[in-house]
Amino acid sequence: MLSRIVRINRLTSLPVHLPVRAFAAQAAVPEPLSISALQQMGQDNLGLTKVIDYAKIFEDPSNRPAKREPRTFHSLEDQANAVAGYDKLQATEPIDRHSKRVGLLGYKIGMTHFWDRWGAQTPCTVVQVDRCQVLQVRQAEKDGHDAIQVGCGEQRLRKVKRPQLGHFLKHGLPPKQHLAEFRVTPENLLPVGYLLGPRHFKLGQFVDVKATSKGKGQQGVMKRWNFSGQEASHGNSKAHRLPGSIGQCEYPGKVWKGKKMAGRLGGISSTVLNQRVVRVDHEKSLLYILGNVPGPTGGLVRVRDAVKKVEQQVWDLHYPTDLPKGEGAEESVQTWDGGDVDPFEVFAHENDVVSGTKDDGGD
């Protein structure tokens, strides 16, 4: 059956009847390969591990800024992967809906905004993916689980500990300032030394962002737990912002664990779920995420695929990552258009009474 939905434009106040199906259309899922074939493709990608010759990359004059020109950050992911032979990486498919890809590490640059095609302002947080590189691959046969260790940033040699220095020199990798490990499935393994860029996440997909929130020190219950406070009348004697009673005397004769009281606020690991990727700047390795992200400017940010949006996007992502499509095949800056729904239009059902129209029975 078909039901009708009345769409009313705020500018014209005229109703438009749109036929809408009562059920959502299911996306066509391509026939997947066998599990053994996908796992073998992951092993083949892992077998491409080589030592990257960074001297060949910087011998190219185009990678060095000219004299008297401002030095800007330039992405080298595609060039470094091509020198190491990682351009032969095979695109795989998810084994099932529980397939997991590797995530990214980056640094929070700040916040900005832009206007989409509907004219709506889109606030977003800018995350710089600073030379995020695969450092180690763990496999279930040896380590008990499948995971990929990535690192980002740059660390001075004198600050690197001896065991970590040997870990980097084993594959000829530069020392990284921050490391993290992501659980993956066997078909999404990547070779050691592979550089990941912001194109790893598809434009418009949902991600989970994890970072350390801003520390605010010792705070009271009103700021920490949003208590309303006590009465501000004349009879209140210097107890306006106090928490009040925290327990009884005879029974239970104690303060229950977990009682909301004053204490340290912030400075803990915080995760924001279901944030949309609204812009990808591959040339400058910038990832724009809709809304706010925990932590101060310059803080470390950990980005992964949204775990609560598996059903919507598991079949639409790039596995094991987004492979380069050749120079000039796609734009270096890609922006989300805002979706198919106009946010400035009011949607009402045919049975709803809308004032100012002929359907409300007025003159």
pLDDT of residue 46: 82
pLDDT of residue 213: 95
Question: Please, which pLDDT band fits residue 16 given cuts at 50, 70 and 90?
Answer: very low
Residue 22 has pLDDT above 80, yes or no: no
Omega within 30 of 0 (cis) for the link into 294: no
Question: Please, which pLDDT band fits residue 30 given cuts at 50, 70 and 90?
Answer: low
Q: For the residues of 48-75, what is the DSSP string, one character each?
A: T-----HHHHHTSGGGSPPTTS------
Summarised one tens digit per residue, pLDDT across range 161-211 is: 888 888 888 888 889 999 999 999 999 999 998 999 999 999 999 999 999
Residue 15 has pLDDT above 70, yes or no: no
Rounded Cα distance, 126 and 284, in Å: 11
Q: Which CATH architecture has domain 45-63+71-216+264-342?
A: Beta Barrel (2.40)
Residue 362 has pLDDT above 60, yes or no: no
Nearest residue to 127 (alpha-carbon basis) of 18, 237, 201? 201
Would you kindly state where each structural domain of the chain is located, as residue ranges? 45-63+71-216+264-342
Summarised one tens digit per residue, pLDDT across range 300-309 is: 999 999 999 9
Average confidence score pLDDT of the chain:
82
Please tell me the least confidently modeled range out of 53-57, 58-62, 251-255, 273-277. Answer: 58-62
Please tell me the least confidently modeled range out of 32-41, 96-105, 156-165, 198-207. Answer: 32-41
Sheet holding 2-9, edge to edge: 15-21, 2-9, 345-349
Residue 275 has pLDDT above 80, yes or no: yes
Cβ-in-10-Å burial (0-12, 13-18, 19+) of 110 comes to: exposed
Q: Which helix (H) or strand (E) holds 81?
A: helix 77-83
Q: Would you say the C-alpha torsion 308, 312, 315, 320 has a positive or negative sign?
A: negative
Question: Please, which pLDDT band fits residue 148 given cuts at 50, 70 and 90?
Answer: very high
Nearest residue to 240 (alpha-carbon basis) of 251, 258, 256, 227? 227
**What is the share, in percent, of the chain residues with pLDDT greater than 70?**
79
Q: What is the DSSP letter of 275?
A: E
